[in-house]
Amino acid sequence: MDIKFVDRDEMHASRKRGSKYRKLLDALEKLEVDEGAIEVEYEDEKSLNSMRTAVYQYNYKNGVKIKSGKDTENKKIYFYREK
């Protein structure tokens, strides 16, 4: 068995989250600072947490600040961008 150490940047791993939330991540690209929000419906707390995790990873990767607020009565979450 050959073992080789590589940089993490060289790894290209596909993740389920990337494809599952691709529409959301594409919409985040178009979101402008202090101009509206993205409204997304969620089914349960598990899907809500997965969605937020995807957005927080997007924040970290792209160096932006996208925050969220949720409407528990209507099961909707809103994402908006700040400076």
pLDDT of res. 5: 77
Residue 47 within any structural domain of the chain: yes
pLDDT of res. 42: 92
Q: Is the pTM of this model over 0.85?
A: no
* Domain count of the fold of the chain: 1
**Average pLDDT, integer, range 44-50:** 93
Q: What angle do CA 64, 33, 76 make, to 5 degrees?
A: 85
Residue 29 within any structural domain of the chain: no
Residue 19 within any structural domain of the chain: no
* 3-class DSSP assignment, residue 75: coil
- How far is residue 32's CA from residue 18's CA, in Å, rounded to a whole number? 21
Q: What residues make up the domain containing 61?
A: 37-83
DSSP letter, residue 47? H
Residue 31 within any structural domain of the chain: no
- How far is residue 61's CA from residue 83's CA, in Å, rounded to a whole number? 16
Does residue 17 register a pLDDT over 60? no
